[in-house]
Amino acid sequence: MSHPTEQQLAQMAGKLRAHSIRMTTAAGSGHPSTCCSMAEIMAVLFFDQMQFDPATPSARDVDQFVLSKGHAAPILWATLFEAGAITDDLMTLRHFESTIEGHPTPRNPWVRIATGSLGQGLSVACGMATAQRFEGINQQIFVVMGDGENAEGAIWEAAQFAGHHRLNHLCAIVDLNRLGQSGPSYFQHDAEGLAKRWASFGWQTLVVDGHDVGALRRAFQEARRNEAQPTVLIAKTFKGHGVPLFEDKPGWHGKPIPADKVDEAVKTLGDIDIALKPAGACARDCSAATTAPKMAELLAHLAPLTYTKGQSVATREAYGNALVRLIREHPRLAVLDADTKNSTFSEKVMTVNPACFVECFIAEQNMVGVGMGLAAMGWTPCVSTFACFFARAYDFVRMAVISRVPHLLLCGSHAGVSIGEDGASQMGLEDLAMMRGLVESTVVYPCDAVSTERLVEALMTTPGVSYVRTSRPKTPVLYDLSESFPIGGSKVLRTSAKDRCTIIGAGVTVHEALAAAEMLARDGIAVRVIDAYSVKPLDAVTILASARETGAVVTVEDHSLYGGLGGAVCEVLAGSVPVTRLGIREVPRSGRPEELMAHYGIDAASICRTVRECL
């Protein structure tokens, strides 16, 4: 393995700056000044330190790179181009048909996770480092962050996680270029002050001149040698370095250099006539250490369910039972929780395979980010906490969708007023709306133990981001063990030719709907009951047919009236049949579950009153 000289690396840094300048000017937008501050970092990493194969973007037993400061995408594309990893025309930056987008996305095969929502890259890198540890891969994960994003709380959630779990194969680089978008960053050039904060989280901290290729080389070598803790390089740099027009000057963030000044700017970079190959290019087989399992084969070998009809089991406990059955057969299943494992019942897997359980503590943003990193490395993460706390992590979930993660299952427990006495702060009332609102997602809400386990199984073969909503109260088992629950389906639990209204529920309200149907039947009123366990995609065919046959629809949900099941049904029916929605209309209070469901109008008696009013 031959390494370039320091002069060659400095020349390559200049060439990467030139590409970044020309690309952004051609695009008419972008962030050339922030690219210029990290040019030496990229040159040393990709052409001297990183061990990777430019021909194999999907390689696993190699070093990995995450650009957390995603607005510096032009220099990533320029670096990959010079390394021979991509052949894209750099002047197509930000073009509709191009894979080299304004911020990194997996439309380009060298990007495992989309970045650009600042503060997320370190969490993702933690997940990738965790995957390396699971698989015994002794390679580095490098993540470059901006100094401005060190103001994000998620950075410190991830820093604490990495320090606690001693992720020694993780190397973070803070591009301390002093200037943010609208003014100076928190620390400006106080590298030592920032280093003290990182050190307090259990990291090895190395303060380095980010424009000194020799110093960077030595720092990266020291990071690789450290087998006890993660390492962070605090690289003191200057925004726009090498170009007097905008070096260390405010007001240039996100602004390309005018076309008539590009040649002059590039000329100031000196001799940049250089071509280098990555010193750490791998000629060996870089395939994944573990072949991804075929889910259909795994599911065929799962232990059978053991519930009996009428047995009272909370769906949150059934979720834990499902994980236990899956983790016995699934070699790449990881279970993550945020210090709620004894409430979500994810702790059950610790009795079977504790090595694949990841405690993320009370840091939900980082937990979802770690899950994203694991998913990007071919694992199937199952991430659980109370439904309401996913609100904190919603931007991470949004970015997981943009990242087209292969598989990320989220489980929100303790949903709705049915949790009872804990009160409004613990009642997830917005989660269905949040998860439905994602451009691409799957949302399910089981009502009993059998449907919970079968739906978790189904989500194992459902790509992308999926969400399962579980409940705190125990509910009776309704379904036979042989029942199947395809995504996009529903169950018609009660039907007759005389039905005058369709009641649609999900989760705990299915049981209230069935009780209401019994009460109405005693008065000679026949109603249809549907368990809409698949909230997204919704079973539009069954719901449309039932609505037309019965002439009226009542939806009932333990969720905000806005954005949940009722809204989904209205979208399907589009005014063709009258729909009356029951849900939570105000901020709730503490109380007994049955008391709260009655007060907020989603219990059996309330459903009966509503049906009579509709008729």
The residues, any chain, with a CB within 8 Å of residue 435's CB and separated by 6 or more, are 390, 397, 410, 441, 443, 467, 536
Rounded to the nearest 10 degrees, how much is the dihedral formed by the CA atoms of 335, 491, 311, 444?
20
- Report the candidate in 582, 613, 587 with the shortest Cα–Cα distance to residue 598: 582
279, pLDDT greater than 90 = no
- Do 443 and 539 sit in the same domain of this protein? no
Residue 486 lies in a domain: no
- Do 82 and 159 sit in the same domain of this protein? yes
289, pLDDT greater than 50 = no
Q: Report the CATH number at residue 347.
A: 3.40.50.970
- Do 521 and 413 sit in the same domain of this protein? no
| Claim: this prediction has a pTM higher than 0.95 | yes
Provide the angle, in degrees to the nearest 10, between the axes of the packed helices 153-164 and 121-135: 20
Distance CA 529, CA 543 (A): 10
pLDDT confidence band for 380 (50 / 70 / 90): very high
- CA angle 515/519/521 to nearest 5° reads 115
User: Tell me, what's the pLDDT at 299?
Assistant: 85
284, pLDDT greater than 50 = no
326, pLDDT greater than 50 = yes
290, pLDDT greater than 80 = no
- Do 528 and 471 sit in the same domain of this protein? no
Choosing from 149, 317, 347, 364, the catalytic residue is 364
Rounded to the nearest 10 degrees, how much is the dihedral formed by the CA atoms of 518, 524, 526, 529?
-20
User: Tell me, what's the pLDDT at 536?
Assistant: 98
Mean pLDDT of the chain: 96
Q: What are phi and psi of 443, to 5 degrees?
A: -130, 125
**Domain end (from 237, 255, 281):** 281
Distance CA 368, CA 120 (A): 10
pLDDT confidence band for 287 (50 / 70 / 90): very low
Task: Using a pLDDT cut of 90, give the percent of the chain over it.
Answer: 96
Helix spans in 140-200 (H): 153-164, 191-199
- Do 450 and 534 sit in the same domain of this protein? no
User: Tell me, what's the pLDDT at 109?
Assistant: 97
- Do 271 and 341 sit in the same domain of this protein? no
Q: Report the CATH number at residue 576.
A: 3.40.50.920
- Do 499 and 523 sit in the same domain of this protein? yes
Q: Output the DSSP codes for 427-483.
A: -B-SHHHHHHHSSS-EEE--SSHHHHHHHHHHHTTS-EEEEEE--SSEEE--S-TT-
Q: Output the DSSP codes for 222-287.
A: HHHH--SS-EEEEEE--TTTT-TTTTT-TT-TT-PPPGGGHHHHHHTT---------TEE--S---
User: Tell me, what's the pLDDT at 295?
Assistant: 79
Tabulate helix, strand, coil % of the chain (nearest 5): 40, 15, 40
Query: How do 534-536 and 442-444 pair as beta strands?
Result: antiparallel
Q: Which domain holds residue 460?
A: 295-476
Residue 113 lies in a domain: yes
User: Tell me, what's the pLDDT at 282?
Assistant: 63
- Do 242 and 337 sit in the same domain of this protein? no
User: Tell me, what's the pLDDT at 286?
Assistant: 45
- Residue 549 annotated as catalytic: no
Q: Are residues 330 and 379 in contact, defined by beta-carbon separation less than 8 angstroms?
A: no
- Could you report the per-residue pLDDT of 404-414, keeping only the tens digit for each? 999 999 999 99
- Could you report the per-residue pLDDT of 444-495, keeping only the tens digit for each? 999 999 999 999 999 999 999 999 999 999 999 999 999 999 999 999 999 9
Residue 483 lies in a domain: no
Q: Are residues 118 and 146 in contact, defined by beta-carbon separation less than 8 angstroms?
A: yes
Residue 288 lies in a domain: no
- Do 446 and 533 sit in the same domain of this protein? no
- Do 581 and 529 sit in the same domain of this protein? yes
Q: Are residues 391 and 148 in contact, defined by beta-carbon separation less than 8 angstroms?
A: no
User: Tell me, what's the pLDDT at 308?
Assistant: 98
SS3 493: strand
**Domain end (from 281, 308, 342):** 281
- Do 196 and 241 sit in the same domain of this protein? yes
Residue 102 lies in a domain: yes
Distance CA 165, CA 177 (A): 29
- Do 277 and 366 sit in the same domain of this protein? no
**Domain end (from 257, 281, 305):** 281
Q: 57 preceded by cis ω (within 30°)?
A: no
User: Tell me, what's the pLDDT at 294?
Assistant: 78
Residue 401 lies in a domain: yes
- Where does residue 592 fall: left (phi above 0), alpha (psi -120 to 50 degrees), or beta otherwise? beta
pLDDT confidence band for 293 (50 / 70 / 90): low
291, pLDDT greater than 80 = no
User: Tell me, what's the pLDDT at 1?
Assistant: 59
Residue 289 lies in a domain: no
Residue 369 lies in a domain: yes
148, pLDDT greater than 80 = yes
Strands of 528-531's sheet in order across? 491-494, 528-531, 502-505, 553-560, 579-584
Q: How many domains does the chain have?
A: 3
